[in-house]
Structures are given as C-alpha cells and as structure tokens.
C-alpha cells in the first residue's frame, strides 16, 4: 500500500497531470471518467514490492507513471502506448515533474517485452477503446509479461449500478467510445479469467461506472513470447 504521506504529496502532482490533458477528446474522457481521481484511488490500492517493476499499459501522456514515481521513487515504472504523439507529451510531462519513468511505443495486445518481466501490470481507462478481440489479446499479454504470482490492476468502465449510473453510461455510448459496450456487459473480469488470472475481484466502482479489478497469476504460468515471435 502507498503511505498516507505519499498520497498527500500526490494531490499537488494531480494538478500538473490535469494540465497535461489536451482538448477536446481527453478532457471529455476526464469529465466522464474522473480519470486522474481514478488513478489516485488505484495507486492507493496497489500492493507494490520494494524496487518493483511496474508496467502501465495505455499510458497516454504518462500521468500514472508520474504519480507512481512521486509516491514511490524506488520503483521502476514503464509506460507503453500506441500513440507516439502521446508518448512525446509523456516525456515532456515527466521532465516537468522531475521523475524518470521509461516510455516505449507498443500495442496493448502485442506488448514489446519478453515474458515474466514485471511485478505489477496496470491499465487505466484503455481497454474500452479496443474491440473485444483486442481486449482479450491485451489481457493475455498482461499475463505473459507478469512474473508468476504477479498482480494485474485494470480500471475501466463496467456494468453501471443504480439508475443514475445507468443514465450516466448513456453519454460514453453515444459519443466517441464505440467499443465500450462490452465493458458495460461485464467483459473485463471474464477476459482476465480466460487469460489465466485467478482471484479476480472488484476493488471499487466510481460514480461514473469505472471499476478497478484486481487479479493475480498463479505460481506457475506458461506463455508464448508474443513479442519475440513476431
């Protein structure tokens, strides 16, 4: 768990992160999902080993790695994203924030890393952008790059609860998030289990229907090294 004092420091860092967003699509996504606040809650829920290796899939402008390294400078944090322009912003944002994560281009469903490289994989508000086949491939890749007994944390849209949440879920359905329907039908925990994860559980759900699911790998795993095979 992240210490309370470290979480307090992150409040000021969050202002820097909000300044990293570019209108209009990113600001719309932030408004609908309260993305930075979701990332702060995710960080608070993480169980990270000392000097652990963390992979942020769909890092965008690097907000989560920046927050993580502000809270835990001992970590080695890598952010991967398919958007080269976003990664350029991530590098600039990291310099502004005086932290040194590693950023690399790559797709969630074909991660550019060898197997069993990371202690923790996190993904925040990324999978709802992908079609179902790519979502499934991404979950398999999360499992492949994790060490045995590694942990995966996925924060993304989930089936809404209550009338107000259901009404709020209409907005992303009819805007620019055309693959979000599978999320609202509960695909994320099912896909994690199909990828080989165990103990899949929901940690929290926000008022905007974003759920954090936590899962872990069993002790022994066998994966094909997709990055090396291509």
What pairs with residue 124 in β-bridges? 155
Does a structural domain hold residue 143?
yes
Does a structural domain hold residue 193?
yes
Does residue 173 surpass a pLDDT of 60? no
Give the model's pLDDT for residue 169. Answer: 57
Give the model's pLDDT for residue 138. Answer: 98
Please write down the HEC assignment for all residues of the chain.
CCCHHHHHHHHHHHHHHHHCCCCCHHHHHHHHHCHHHHHHHHHHHCCCCCCCEEEEECCCCCHHHHHHHHHCCCCEEEEEECCHHHHHHHHHHHHHHCCCCEEEECECCECCCCCCCEEEEEEECCHHHCCHHHHHHHHHHHHHHEEEEEEEEEEEECCCCCHHHHHHHHHHHHCCCCCCHHHHCCHHHHHHHHCCCEEEEEEEECCCCEEEEEEECCCCCCCCCHHHHC
Does residue 117 surpass a pLDDT of 60? yes
How many domains does one find in the chain? 1
C-alpha span between 145 and 169 (Å, rounded): 32
**CB–CB of 103/59 below 8 Å?**
yes
Does a structural domain hold residue 200?
yes
CATH number of the domain bearing residue 46: 3.40.50.150
Does a structural domain hold residue 166?
yes
C-alpha span between 137 and 109 (Å, rounded): 5
Does a structural domain hold residue 122?
yes
2 against 97, higher pLDDT = 97
- In this structure, of 34-38, 135-139, 199-203, the range with the lowest mean pLDDT score is 34-38
Give the model's pLDDT for residue 87. Answer: 94
Band (pLDDT 50/70/90 cuts) for residue 229 is very low
Give the model's pLDDT for residue 161. Answer: 79
38 against 150, higher pLDDT = 150
**CB–CB of 55/80 below 8 Å?**
yes
Name residues whose C-beta falls within 8 Å of residue 92's C-beta, 6 or more positions apart in sequence: none
21 against 162, higher pLDDT = 162
Tokens representing 89 are 């912003």
Band (pLDDT 50/70/90 cuts) for residue 10 is low
C-alpha span between 153 and 202 (Å, rounded): 10
Does a structural domain hold residue 26?
yes
Does a structural domain hold residue 99?
yes
Does a structural domain hold residue 228?
no
Band (pLDDT 50/70/90 cuts) for residue 7 is low
Question: Which range marks the domain in which residue 93 is found?
Answer: 4-220
pLDDT digits (tens, 9 = 90+) for 83-94: 999 999 899 889
Does residue 154 surpass a pLDDT of 90? yes
User: In percent, how much of the chain has pLDDT > 90?
Assistant: 50
């Amino acid at each position: 768990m992240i210490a309370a004092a470290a979480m307090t420091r992150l409040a000021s860092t969050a202002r820097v992160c909000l300044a990293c967003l570019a209108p209009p699509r990113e600001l719309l996504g932030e408004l609908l999902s309260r993305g930075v606040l979701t990332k702060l809650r995710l960080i608070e829920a993480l169980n990270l080993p000392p000097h652990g290796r963390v992979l942020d899939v769909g890092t965008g402008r690097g907000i989560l790695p920046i927050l993580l390294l502000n809270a835990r400078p001992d970590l080695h944090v890598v952010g991967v994203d398919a958007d080269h322009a976003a990664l350029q912003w991530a590098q600039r944002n990291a310099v502004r924030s005086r932290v040194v994560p590693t950023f690399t281009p790559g797709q969630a469903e074909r991660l550019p890393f060898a197997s069993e490289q990371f202690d923790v994989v996190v993904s925040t508000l990324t999978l709802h952008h992908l079609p179902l086949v790519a979502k499934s491939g991404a979950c398999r890749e999360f499992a492949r790059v994790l060490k045995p007994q590694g942990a995966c944390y996925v924060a993304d849209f989930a089936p809404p609860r209550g009338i107000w949440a259901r009404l709020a879920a209409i907005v992303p359905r009819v805007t620019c998030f055309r693959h979000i329907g599978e999320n609202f039908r509960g695909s994320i925990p099912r896909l994690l289990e199909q990828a080989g994860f165990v103990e899949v559980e929901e940690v929290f759900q926000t008022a905007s229907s974003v759920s954090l699911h936590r899962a872990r790998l069993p002790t022994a795993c066998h994966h094909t090294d997709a990055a090396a095979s291509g």
